[in-house]
Structure 1
Amino acid sequence: MAGLYFAFDISVMPGLARGDDHTYVTAMRNINEAIDNGLFGLLFLGAFLATGVAATQQQRRGRPDAARWGWLAFALYGLSLIVTAIVNIPLNNQLARAGADATAARTRFGGRWTTGNAVRTLACTAALAALGRALTLHGRASA
């Protein structure tokens, strides 16, 4: 998820920002419709659940240091889910229902969505780093 969000930060949103309002709104609507599918949902929630399962397993196997890093990753990814639920999805829904005034729709959407996405990117990147640390500790405990 960190990679997906980062791609939006450095390419998708800056690329869309170069276009006119109608193109921006139409493209974002199309992106939002395309990404709203079962496979994405499975990966989106599956990563969160797998992180929690991994942290639980580390805890049960007596690896408290690895478990702590796993729980940190779980919390950070959870933060990204919360931001998605309270910022990005509501904005996506507003954009989908917006009328013909593309300028107004873009104005209400763009800055807030991009800021929310940057928070998601940071949270998921930090979660990935925490998972890397947990994996390192797991490997040391196993050796």
Structure 2
Amino acid sequence: MELLHLIALIAALLSSGLMAGLFTGYSYSVMPGIAILDDRNWVAALQHINRVIINGRFMSGFLGSIAFSLAAVVLGIFLDDRAALPWTIAGLVLNLVGFIGTIAKNVPLNDKLEAAGDVAALADPTALRTEVEATWIKWNHVRGIANLLALAALALALYTAGTAA
């Protein structure tokens, strides 16, 4: 296996693992933890989390899972290192599911929460929470599972590439 392909696979694996951990962590701790909050405080908590999560550490894992998976696929094709290619493609597709789910579902819900403005001035925080919570949680589960499966696929790709070398 070429060194560059190995580096791309490891980087894809690590960034996918970061996203799998983050999204599943929300599923089993953050969302159940804030579920006890009243509606106004629940909205405030999500607004604050959504503001602070957009940072370099998050974006490097979020975008890196796609970029490194794509790089590993391309390198696998062009370096004629195809033993791991089916698993690498599976990892890329699964990372795309998590990425697209985030962009298409979770981000618009985050934007809706942010657009509500100051929670102290919200006329009906219960309606906003009812509109957002169940869908946000469902799609968070989807992206968490997708990234976990991407992590597994990329681990198999790395193993397959190593044993084929």
TM range (shorter): over 0.9
Identity among equivalent positions (%) equals: 39
Which residue of structure 1 aligns with residue 127 of structure 2?
104
How many residues are aligned here?
142
How big is the shift at 1:20? 0.9
Within-5 A mapping of 1:1-143: 1-98=19-116, 100=122, 101-142=124-165
Q: How large is the Cα RMSD of the aligned pairs?
A: 1.2
Q: Displacement of 1:86 after TM fit?
A: 1.1
Amino acid at match of 1:52: L
Distance in 1 separating the partners of 2:59 and 2:163: 33
The 10-residue stretch of structure 1 (52-61 or 115-124) with the greater mean CA deviation from structure 2: 52-61
The separation in 2 between residues aligned to 1:36 and 1:92, in whole angstroms, is 12
**CA shift for structure 1 position 39:** 3.4
Give yes or no for contact 2:83–2:164 (8 Å, CA) kept in 1. Answer: no
Question: Match of 2:16?
Answer: none
Q: Displacement, 1:140?
A: 0.5
Q: Distance in 2 between matches of 1:70 and 1:102?
A: 44
Structure 1 residue 63 displacement after superposition: 2.8
Shift of 1:105: 1.2
Structure 1 stretch 87-96 or stretch 65-74: which is displaced more?
65-74
How many Å apart are 1:25 and its aligned residue?
0.6
Preserved CA contact (<8 Å) 1:56 1:67 = no
- Amino acid paired to 2:160: L
Separation in 2, partners of 1:110, 1:121 = 16
- Structure 2: which 5+ residue stretches go unaligned? 1-18
Aligned counterparts of 2:135 and 2:151: Cα–Cα separation in 1:
24
Question: Using CA pairs below 8 Å that are at least 6 residues apart, which structure has the higher relative contact order?
Answer: 2
Question: TM-score, length-normalised on structure 1?
Answer: 0.94
Describe the SS at the equivalent of 1:62: coil
Distance 2:94 2:135 in 1: 20
Q: CA deviation at 1:42?
A: 2.7
